[in-house]
Structure 1
């Protein structure tokens, strides 16, 4: 991994990795062109996250502490964002956390509205949260959970070194697109039908058409 310091302007959000891994064009339309739109699926997703999020609220149960909406970051990756839930399980050989006066195992939990996906975008987002937590708490996090709203159950995710390498490469690509101010071309896929940006992306038009230029042209017309 490149050893460098990122300025505040260069920091990316954890959530960006999920969008970019799913579709680089969707990511660029949202984060580079500001073309984000809502649909039923995104609204349901926000509702589920709002239910999980109660920024930095803490709940103590037997043997564990549940922290919601924890703000996390990685200086080495130039990343920041929020974790839906971080569970701290009491463990003798865990990491010492002064704020809770004990040693704990750190477990990130991400909430998603649907069901497990064919791609690895959700897993990469959770892994990126784990990388931030590892750096913040000087510990190793071998696994986490993704809670899916449709199945109403947690799915355990065991992390790998390959996921870490994939994340580093995707972050590099994202920063290259940002530097160039370039929106990737259309690549039609099955998920286009459910994308909230379907009308903005306009996948049926020429793949080299700039969305911003197309919208400005239509406004002039």
Structure 2
């Protein structure tokens, strides 16, 4: 369990799984730059994250920009959207009659990814809601703007374990102020902090020496 002063940004867990060095440079070294992809992501979330806009339809309440946290994960952040569906097995809400089942919806700029980066972020949000509302969640949704698709994510035990392990590792890196060494991948140039990271130069010390001296040492 973590105390509030030690909480890290919940959204960072997606960055951490995508590239641990990127996460460390942003969250430990406080290095940040914008590019077209980060700007597009901010535009999408600005449209969604309106905390004072709540919609109610028959048997459904939509709440945006809800602040959540988890002492188990040591993370805090803001949800894009949480739907409350009227259901007997749900939770009670202030000034609302009956019980309501929460379902989280996280918005993403691109399309569904090969690896579970986004799913872990959604699961971390789910653990926050479970703690905050004292309820067990079975699933949530990822909405991908590029493909206009809404993907259901089941909150399996394997996904929970990966999320807890990732959060623990994030805290370990942050406590030690550890910056992982660079690894170069084909998508590195799409990263907003590519220039600050310089993965081609920092991947191996021998490569840096070649760059400086122009010869094999």
1:1-221 mapped onto 2 (5 Å cutoff): 4=1, 6-207=2-203
Asked whether the 8 Å contact 1:71–1:80 carries over to 2, the reply is: yes
Q: Which segment is superposed worse, 114-123 or 182-191?
A: 182-191
CA distance in 1, matches of 2:202, 2:75: 34
Q: Secondary structure at the match of 1:178?
A: helix
* TM-score, normalisation: structure 2: 0.90
Asked whether the 8 Å contact 1:56–1:70 carries over to 2, the reply is: no
Question: How many residues are paired up?
Answer: 205
The Cα offsets for residues 22-49 of structure 1, whole Å up to 9 and x where unpaired, read as 0000000100011111100110000001
- What RMSD in Å do the two structures reach over aligned CA positions? 1.4
CA distance in 2, matches of 1:106, 1:190: 39
Asked whether the 8 Å contact 2:89–2:99 carries over to 1, the reply is: yes
* TM-score, normalisation: structure 1: 0.88
Unmatched 5+ stretches in structure 1: 210-221
Max radius of gyration: which structure? 2
**1:208 and 1:182, CA in 2 relative to 1: closer, same or farther beyond 3 A?**
farther
Q: Secondary structure at the match of 1:204?
A: helix
CA distance in 2, matches of 1:61, 1:153: 22
